[in-house]
Structure 1
Amino acid sequence: MSKQMEQAVVVRHLCLASTIKMLTLRAPAIAQCAEPGQFIHIRVADSYHPLLRRPFSIADADPQAGTIGIIYRIVGAGTELLAKVKEGDQINCLGPLGRAFELSCHRPLLVGGGMGLAPLLFLARRLCPRPVQVISGGRNAEEMVWPALFQPLCENIAITTDDGSIGLRGVTTDLLPQILTDGRFDRIYACGPRPMLIRVAEITKKFKVSCQISLEKHMACGIGACLACTCSGTDGLRRKVCSDGPVFWAEEVLL
Structure 2
Amino acid sequence: MVVGKQFEQQVPVDDIRCVRDICTLAVRSREICAAARPGQFVMVKASGERCDDPLLRRPFSVHRISGDILTIIFKIIGRGTDHLSRMTNAGTVDVLGPLGNGFRLSEKAKVHYLVGGGMGVAPLQFLAETIRGEMAGAHVVALVGARTASESDNFRAICDVPDIEVKIATDDGSAGHHGFVTELLAADIDKKKEMQVYCCGPHVMMHKVAQLCRCHGVNCQVSLESHMACGIGACLGCAVSGAGAAKEKKYLHVCKEGPVFEAEQIWA
The alpha carbon displacement at 1:61 in A equals 1.4
User: What are structure 2's unaligned runs of at least 5 residues?
Assistant: none
1:233 to 239, 242, 247: 242
The alpha carbon displacement at 1:213 in A equals 0.4
Residue 100 of structure 1 is matched in structure 2 by 102
AA in 2 matched with 1:135 = L
The alpha carbon displacement at 1:233 in A equals 1.7
1:3 to 6, 21, 34: 6
1:151 to 159, 178, 193: 159
What aligned pairs does 1:1-255 form with structure 2 within 5 A after superposition?
1-15=4-18, 17-46=19-48, 47-62=51-66, 65-105=67-107, 106-128=110-132, 129=136, 130-145=138-153, 148-153=156-161, 154-181=163-190, 184-234=193-243, 235-236=246-247, 237=249, 238-254=251-267
The alpha carbon displacement at 1:147 in A equals 5.5
Asked whether the 8 Å contact 1:140–1:166 carries over to 2, the reply is: yes
- Identity across matched positions, percent: 39
The alpha carbon displacement at 1:146 in A equals 5.0
Asked whether the 8 Å contact 1:6–1:29 carries over to 2, the reply is: no
State the alpha-carbon separation in 2 of the partners of residues 29 and 96 from structure 1: 9
- Name the CA shift for 1:77/1:149 in 2 (closer, same or farther; >3 Å): same
Asked whether the 8 Å contact 2:32–2:97 carries over to 1, the reply is: yes
AA in 1 matched with 2:14 = V
Tell me the secondary structure at the aligned position of residue 208 of structure 2. helix
- Name the CA shift for 1:70/1:195 in 2 (closer, same or farther; >3 Å): same
State the alpha-carbon separation in 2 of the partners of residues 73 and 139 from structure 1: 15
How big is each residue's C-alpha offset from its partner over 1:63-104, in whole Å with a ceiling of 9 and x where there is no partner?
A: xx3111101111221111100001121111000000011012
State the alpha-carbon separation in 1 of the partners of residues 115 and 40 from structure 2: 17
State the alpha-carbon separation in 1 of the partners of residues 186 and 114 from structure 2: 13
State the alpha-carbon separation in 2 of the partners of residues 214 and 226 from structure 1: 20
The alpha carbon displacement at 1:185 in A equals 4.4
State the alpha-carbon separation in 2 of the partners of residues 196 and 232 from structure 1: 18
The alpha carbon displacement at 1:181 in A equals 4.0
AA in 2 matched with 1:136 = V
The alpha carbon displacement at 1:14 in A equals 2.0
Larger mean Cα displacement after TM superposition, 2-11 or 179-188: 179-188
Tell me the secondary structure at the aligned position of residue 109 of structure 1. strand
How big is each residue's C-alpha offset from its partner over 1:43-74, in whole Å with a ceiling of 9 and x where there is no partner?
A: 23443210111001001113xx3111101111
State the alpha-carbon separation in 1 of the partners of residues 188 and 29 from structure 2: 38
**Pairwise CA RMSD:** 1.7
Tell me the secondary structure at the aligned position of residue 189 of structure 2. helix
State the alpha-carbon separation in 1 of the partners of residues 207 and 233 from structure 2: 24
User: Could you tell me the TM-score, scaled by structure 2's length?
Assistant: 0.89
How big is each residue's C-alpha offset from its partner over 1:19-49, in whole Å with a ceiling of 9 and x where there is no partner?
A: 1111111011101100000000012344321
- Name the CA shift for 1:54/1:29 in 2 (closer, same or farther; >3 Å): same
The alpha carbon displacement at 1:197 in A equals 0.7
User: Could you tell me the TM-score, scaled by structure 1's length?
Assistant: 0.94
